[in-house]
């Protein structure tokens, strides 16, 4: 596919005889808000100073000087020169490209094969996975797909919260009130119950705290029973998390959690000491970060215990050594913003310039009925329940719309789960949003099911046409103004992918998908696609291209695209 902005820029460049370089011209070219004003516009007033002429005049002159070949028309409107591309040429170029490339349309080589570890999901064991962890999981997964499409090698790391003094409490509680059968049956639920009970009883029995400390000490010292219990809690919790990951169809490359770095922190502390960065403050060891306008990073507590950031320092260094990364990403809620600023600052102080390649990808909160979801207030929305409810709603709608559908259960799962994922990704990730299931699963409006439905509609048109063997040898010269918006959007896909990956922003793709689906549905409402005339094949090529690009957009978001629904 040609770069049409460049085509326009070089046409302008040939007419301005040297006052502006081609790069300067390219940077000035705009895309008009309305298609009535053409496909590209050059603001002639940028030449007003040099030419000492009125912008309208310059625009008029340019229209006369520019070579019109390859354009439908070029006209001056006020101080602008508006360019209308030749529809047939453009159509043949774009559709030919989508059809020959298929799912690889929009692939890029920006990453040059560089590794990008993505710290994502990272729930805490023995606790329910929250909606925040779901956000991290789906945003991280989509960024991984986008990175892969643009030539990077993503490495998905689940940095499980599997270490800390709370495990002493949990073991203590389990030994007092727990049962193996209960944990096996419903691990997260029962472990959470023991933990909550510990905190209740602890109020009147402060000696419990001492016991919990002992258990944690045993765990740290590698005591056999404590280690066995810890491993078992971890395994059982992971089994539950895996159920969610399986439904989302998300796989991780590593489950190295916090505990993995237990034997890697001494080295970090030694390096900090050797570089004279560690200072004592009220018995604790800290790194002063006042020159970064940040609070000091607490590396070791008075009792010698290491902290969350100490583990993250060890993890960051481990990832650099293991993956020699191009970038290292952390998809974690915005509330941990300062933590990641501190992490980067300490690494910088240690002399690691690659600290600049670390990026925290924050995201906002999901609220329910305007209130924050948190474990303490009991407002935990259990993820699996949300997914189950979404699938049920999808089922109901399929039952109404397409009762004869063959693989209803499979499609309902794809639509229900896809709806939740899409909803999570369609807003700018930093925005907070409220979760209303009915709205999320609607087949109309700006939802995942709407985009899936548009894809299925395109597939059904192709089926009705007898699945024509359209291929790259075809010359799809579509000359239909109703199709123009859709064609332009198809051509925008590669640039949209690049924008999404540059901004680590899956919503760019989700919004694009909605936009393309809407344009296509408008086209569908106005055109007789299957009518037998000389443009039929070109129209079908458009339909096939839309199906291809919608499917790929959904894939980049981690959402499935059923052929029928
Ligand atoms: N387990 C943490 C939590 O649930 C998130 C961990 C994020 N990753 C990291 N490397 N700090 O809040």
Report pLDDT for 376.
45
Best of 133, 159, 167, 334 for a ligand 1 pocket test (most atoms within 8 Å of beta carbon): 159
Question: Would you give per-residue pLDDT tens digits along the chain (565 residues)?
Answer: 999 999 999 999 999 878 899 999 999 999 999 989 999 999 999 998 888 999 999 999 999 999 999 899 999 999 999 999 999 999 999 999 999 999 999 999 999 999 999 999 999 999 888 888 999 999 999 999 999 999 999 999 999 999 988 999 999 999 999 999 999 998 988 999 999 999 999 999 999 999 999 999 999 999 999 999 999 999 999 999 999 999 999 999 999 999 999 999 999 999 999 999 999 999 999 999 999 999 999 999 988 788 899 999 999 999 999 999 999 999 999 999 999 999 999 999 999 999 999 999 999 988 776 666 554 444 455 678 889 999 999 999 999 999 999 999 999 999 999 999 999 999 999 998 887 888 888 989 999 999 999 999 999 999 999 999 998 888 999 988 999 999 999 999 999 999 999 999 999 999 999 999 999 999 999 999 999 999 999 999 999 999 999 999 999 999 999 999 9
Report pLDDT for 377.
41
Selection from 203, 191, 113 nearest residue 153 by Cα: 113
How close is the Cα of 257 to the center of ligand 1, in Å? 9
Contact (Cβ atoms closer than 8 angstroms) between residue 418 and residue 391: no
How close is the Cα of 287 to the center of ligand 1, in Å? 21
CA distance 118 to 125: 19
CA distance 44 to 62: 8
Contact (Cβ atoms closer than 8 angstroms) between residue 424 and residue 135: yes
Cβ 122 under 6 angstroms from ligand 1? yes
Q: What tokens were used for 155?
A: 């490495």
Question: Element (H or E) spanning 287, and its range?
Answer: strand 284-287
pTM value > 0.85? yes
Report pLDDT for 373.
59
Report pLDDT for 197.
94
| Residue nearest ligand 1's atom 5 by CA | 122
Report pLDDT for 379.
45
Report pLDDT for 18.
83
Nearest atom in ligand 1 to 315's CA: 10
Contacts of 184 (CB under 8 A, 6+ apart): 236
Report pLDDT for 551.
98
Scored b (16 or more CB within 10 A) or e, 203-241 reads eeeeebeebbeebbebbbeeeeebeebbeebbebbbebb
CA distance 488 to 299: 54
φ/ψ bin of 53: left (φ > 0), alpha (ψ from -120 to 50), beta (otherwise): beta
Best of 121, 131, 161 for a ligand 1 pocket test (most atoms within 8 Å of beta carbon): 161
């Amino acid at each position: 596919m040609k770069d049409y902005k460049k085509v326009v820029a070089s046409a302008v460049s040939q007419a301005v005889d040297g006052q502006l370089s081609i790069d300067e011209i390219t940077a000035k070219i705009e895309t008009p808000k309305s298609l009535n004003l053409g496909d590209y516009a050059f603001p002639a007033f940028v030449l007003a100073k040099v030419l000492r002429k009125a912008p309208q005049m310059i625009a008029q002159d340019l229209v006369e000087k520019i070579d019109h070949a390859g354009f439908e028309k070029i006209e001056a409107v006020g101080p602008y020169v508006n360019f209308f591309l030749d529809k047939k040429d453009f159509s043949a170029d774009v559709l030919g490209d989508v059809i020959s490339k298929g799912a690889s349309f929009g692939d890029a080589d920006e990453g040059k094969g560089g590794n990008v570890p993505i710290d994502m999901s990272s729930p805490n064991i023995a606790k329910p996975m929250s909606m925040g962890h779901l956000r991290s999981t789906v945003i991280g997964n989509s960024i991984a797909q986008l990175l892969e499409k643009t030539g990077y090698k993503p490495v998905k790391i689940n940095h499980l919260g599997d270490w800390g003094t709370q495990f002493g409490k949990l073991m203590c509680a389990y030994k007092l009130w727990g049962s193996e059968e209960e944990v096996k049956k419903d691990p997260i639920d029962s472990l959470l119950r023991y933990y909550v009970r510990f905190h209740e009883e602890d109020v009147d029995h402060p000696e419990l705290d001492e016991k919990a400390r002992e258990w944690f000490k045993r765990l740290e010292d590698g005591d056999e029973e404590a280690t066995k219990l810890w491993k078992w809690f971890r395994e059982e919790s992971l089994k539950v998390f895996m159920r969610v990951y399986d439904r989302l169809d998300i796989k991780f490359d590593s489950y190295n959690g916090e505990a993995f770095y237990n034997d890697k922190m001494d080295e970090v502390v030694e390096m900090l000491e050797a570089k004279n960065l560690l200072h004592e403050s009220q018995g604790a060891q800290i790194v002063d970060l006042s020159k970064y306008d940040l609070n000091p990073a607490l590396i070791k507590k008075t009792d010698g215990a290491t902290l969350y950031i100490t583990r993250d320092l060890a993890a960051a260094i481990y990832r650099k050594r293991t993956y020699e990364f191009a970038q290292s990403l952390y998809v974690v809620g915005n509330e941990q913003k300062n933590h990641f600023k501190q992490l980067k600052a300490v690494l910088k102080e240690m002399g690691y310039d690659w600290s600049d390649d670390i990026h925290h990808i924050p995201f906002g909160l999901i609220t329910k009925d305007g209130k924050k979801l948190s474990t303490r207030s009991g407002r935990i929305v259990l993820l699996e329940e949300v997914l189950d409810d979404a699938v049920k709603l999808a089922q109901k709608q399929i039952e109404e719309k397409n009762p004869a559908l063959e693989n209803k259960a499979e499609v309902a799962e794809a639509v229900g789960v896809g709806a939740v994922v899409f909803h999570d990704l369609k807003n700018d990730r930093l925005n907070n949003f409220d979760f209303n299931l009915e709205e999320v699963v609607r087949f109309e409006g700006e939802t995942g099911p709407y985009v899936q439905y548009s894809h299925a509609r395109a597939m059904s048109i192709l089926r009705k046409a007898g699945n024509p063997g359209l291929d790259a040898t075809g010359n799809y010269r579509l000359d239909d103004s109703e199709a123009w918006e859709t064609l332009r959007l198809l051509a925008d896909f590669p640039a949209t992918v690049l924008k999404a990956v540059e901004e680590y922003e899956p919503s760019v793709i989700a919004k694009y998908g909605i936009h393309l689906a809407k344009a296509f549905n408008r086209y569908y409402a106005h055109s007789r696609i299957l009518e037998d005339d000389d443009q039929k094949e070109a129209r079908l090529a458009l339909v096939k291209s839309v199906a291809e690009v919608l499917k790929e957009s959904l894939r980049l978001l981690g959402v499935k695209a059923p052929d029928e629904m």
